[in-house]
Amino acid sequence: MAISMIDKAKGHFSQKAIEKAALMLRKGDDRQLASLFRAIASIAPARYHRETFKQLSDMVLQNDPFVGVVRRIALELNPHCLSKFIQNLVVNFMVLGRGIRDKKEKEYNVHLPNFMVISPTMKCNLHCKGCYAAEYDTSNELTFGELDKLLTDAKELGMYFFTFSGGEAFFRNDLLDLWEKHDDCYFQVYTNGTLLDDTMVQRLVDLGNVMPMISVEGSRELTDLRRGQGIYDKVIAAYRRLNEAGVMFGFSATYTRNTADYMSSDEFIKTMIDRGCKIGWFFQYVPIGENPDLTYMSTPKQRSMLHKKVEEWRHSGEFPIFIGDFWNDGPYVDGCMAAGERYWHVISDGSVEPCVFAPFAVDNIREKSLVEIAGSPFFTYIRNQLPYDGDDNLLRPCMILDHPEVLRDAVKKFGARPCHEGLEKILSGSIPRALDEYAREMKEIYDPLWKHGEKEKYLKSLEKEDKKEWLERMNLPAGSRR
């Protein structure tokens, strides 16, 4: 009988070996960290991961700025949390999952996502201005059995990383049992942080495979203005508990016209690092959900300012934190990730949206298998448009903000149903006109950047990867992908 990829990995990375590696990393030995990356590279089935982990090994020995956050993770995490981080996120998801997906894609002749976002409930104890999820029906929930099956089926297809959102995920105590049952996976959980008391944090320590991302709007004033009086202090208290317990965690920030100046300041990032965050996500405000407000959106100039600052933080060596900029980081993920290109969003009634910010659906996990959903005409059509409009500028990857006609056309062509009330506003009227103008202004700002350096940097990054299709795609018109 052939030895499975997972079994091979277990031979290289037994629990004992992982614990030993974690112990060595906590001693701050860069040679051991470099050796760990080399070991992971040796079992990686994809050239991309082999080259990436070899490069990481070299970066450690060369004291590259990126290594600062890796050292923080190694030194600050609880030993059990560090072991789970290495085994579940790095080995199972980043390396082995890719090999399984490659095989399953050939078997089923369909493109499969890397991961999925799951919102098992839309109930929440806060009422934040402009929340994208505020208009969903809170009576719908995915059962424990449905979630268990969803994760089991996803793992069969090579998915070992899942983002849980909502609603407030920690309203569902049974999710802790779900995450414990699937202890070979890694779970990122977006949360407002108000339910992360000492008891909950201790449970997260015991699990080791859950990484909370706590929402913050920048300063105390800005956070309380959007989320409610006293919420900032509760967020900071949650950061403190998680940091003292050695749990992997980070921040989630919605970048708006009001928060842009502070969120793009060194002071904000230094504060998040000082509070213990090792990862941070920036999201643009999208005018969907409750009372969509165009004046709440960051301006195109503010968005480009964030892109500039994030790149500065990454290369300065003074900010040891992993930062993800969900819109501006298009070149790092080959553009738009929606519709199963890299992920999709399963909501509380089982509907599957192409993206958290594109709340329309044709398919439902209660009616179709994950393979059927991956190959659905709706999702396939969206993926086939990449890069959207035949425009290869991956700094403008989004079918909602940068190419809004793509979402409108796909919804109309396939009769995709809105997943909550009020979504007609994003399809017709003043909001679509404003989004078209926003996209035009974004193009004026980002096209010169793309043509004078950013594109060349992206194409160079593809040379070491198994991405022949993307090299071809960058020179083909929209809709030419199989």
pLDDT range class, residue 31, cuts 50, 70, 90: confident
Q: What is the pLDDT of residues 395-411, one digit of tens each?
A: 999 999 999 999 999 99
Residue 263 lies in a domain: yes
Of 105, 131, 165, the residue that ends a domain is 105
Domain count, the chain: 3
| Weakest mean pLDDT among 38-47, 62-71, 301-310, 395-404 | 38-47
The pLDDT of residue 463 is 74
How far is 413 from 309, CA to CA, in rounded Å? 39
Residues 414 and 469 both lie in one domain: yes
143, with CB counted inside 10 A (0-12, 13-18, 19+), is exposed
Regarding whether 134 and 175 lie in a shared domain, the answer is yes
Question: What is the layout of strands, in order, in the sheet containing 161-164?
Answer: 322-325, 279-284, 250-255, 210-215, 186-191, 161-164, 116-118, 345-346, 351-353, 363-364
Q: Indicate whether 133 and 216 sit together in one domain.
A: yes
Identify whether the C-beta of residue 46 lies closer than 8 Å to the C-beta of residue 94: no
Q: Which tens digits make up the pLDDT trace of 272-293? A: 999 999 999 999 999 997 788 9
Highest mean pLDDT among 16-30, 61-75, 466-480: 61-75
Q: What percent of the chain has pLDDT over 70?
A: 91
Are residues 129 and 100 part of one domain?
A: no
Q: Could you tell me the residue range of the domain that residue 19 belongs to?
A: 5-105
**β-pair type (116-118, 161-164):** parallel
Inside any domain, residue 480: no
Weakest-pLDDT range from 29-43, 218-232, 237-251, 445-459: 29-43
Q: How much is the average pLDDT of 355-383?
A: 98
286 shares a domain with 261:
yes
Both 124 and 67 in one domain: the answer is: no
Asked if 324 and 368 sit in the same domain, the reply is no
Is there a single domain that holds both residue 319 and residue 458? Answer: no
pLDDT value for 276: 98
**Contact present, 8 and 43 (Cβ < 8 Å):** yes
**pLDDT value, residue 481:** 43
Is a pLDDT exceeding 70 seen at residue 13?
A: no
Shared-domain flag, residues 312 and 231 = yes
Residue in this structure with the two tokens 């300041």, named with its chain if needed = 265
Is residue 482 domain-resident?
Answer: no
Q: What is the pLDDT of residues 424-439, one digit of tens each?
A: 899 999 999 999 999 9
- Domain shared by 144 and 277, yes or no: yes
Does 96 share its domain with 32? yes
Whether 136 and 171 map to the same domain: the answer is yes
Domain's final residue, options 71, 88, 105: 105
- Quote the pLDDT of residue 2: 39
Say if 336 falls within a structural domain.
no
Full-model pTM: 0.93
Euclidean distance between CA atoms 154 and 101, whole angstroms: 10
Amino acid present at 141: E
